[in-house]
Chains A and B, each alone.
Chain A
Amino acid sequence: GQNIDQPTEMTATEGAIVQINCTYQTSGFNGLFWYQQHAGEAPTFLSYNVLDGLEEKGRFSSFLSRSKGYSYLLLKELQMKDSASYLCAVISGSARQLTFGSGTQLTVLP
């Protein structure tokens, strides 16, 4: 089976940096995604990591360590609009199905 763990809630201050961690246990790992989801809206794609290391995309960066079953999403220069749920998802198996964690609700305070 698959198991994906991420914190339920986090709070940070506008302008700060926040790191959202995700750990996973899966067989046939093929990659890890991060999605952003505002309340009542569709998840939107943020990043996709297949190889170990850091991928940077503007204010957002995502890191993967396959040997540790660990990833994090780093958000810099936080803005109020970054308040959202951040979903970690792992793609695995021959059918390449996407399995989602329960999401981390980030609240950015002024």
Chain B
Amino acid sequence: DADVTQTPRNRITKTGKRIMLECSQTKGHDRMYWYRQDPGLGLRLIYYSFDVKDINKGEISDGYSVSRQAQAKFSLSLESAIPNQTALYFCATSERETQYFGPGTRLLVL
């Protein structure tokens, strides 16, 4: 079984809809992260959490929110999706510096 899983793997939604992307990990790591990846722009940090009670904004948090339901679960929500949120979204976990990534969720907002 994969150590870091993301659901769904692919999602198509319409402008204005609320959607949630979920991440689960079995690595026992305290730290979890959400990134988005766009062609030519690399990975950009949206939110990160160092433990269940700790949530921090990253470089591009506007339009997104997160929830850390448990050590193993970190969800990303788009309250009202817009087309420029079309991207590949990755969850990652770490014990210290080295981050391990989930398989990604490909999101298309029409």
Write the residues of chain A forming the contact surface with B, with a CB cutoff of 8 angstroms.
30-31, 33, 40-45, 48, 87, 89, 91, 95-103
Is the pair B103, A42 in contact by a Cβ cutoff of 8 Å? yes
Write the residues of chain B forming the contact surface with A, with a CB cutoff of 8 angstroms.
33, 40-45, 48, 56, 58-59, 88, 90, 97-104, 106
Shortest C-beta distance, A106 to chain B (Å), equals 15
List chain A residues, Cβ under 8 A from B48.
95, 97
Is the pair A97, B101 in contact by a Cβ cutoff of 8 Å? no
Is the pair A41, B42 in contact by a Cβ cutoff of 8 Å? no
List chain A residues, Cβ under 8 A from B102.
42
A-B pairs with CB below 8 Å: how many?
46
List chain A residues, Cβ under 8 A from B99.
45, 98
Q: List 14 A-B contacts (CB under 8 A).
A: A31-B97, A33-B97, A40-B106, A43-B101, A44-B101, A45-B98, A45-B99, A87-B42, A87-B43, A91-B97, A97-B45, A98-B45, A101-B42, A103-B42
Identify the 7 closest CB pairs spanning chains A and B, nearest first.
A42-B101, A102-B42, A100-B43, A100-B42, A43-B101, A42-B103, A91-B97
List chain A residues, Cβ under 8 A from B98.
33, 45, 48
Complex Cα–Cα for A97 and B94 (A): 11
Closest to A103 in B: B42
Is the pair A97, B43 in contact by a Cβ cutoff of 8 Å? no
Closest to B41 in A: A102
Complex Cα–Cα for A39 and B106 (A): 12
Q: Name the one of B58, B90, B106 contacting A97, with C-beta atoms under 8 angstroms.
A: B58
Closest to B39 in A: A102
List chain B residues, Cβ under 8 A from A101.
42
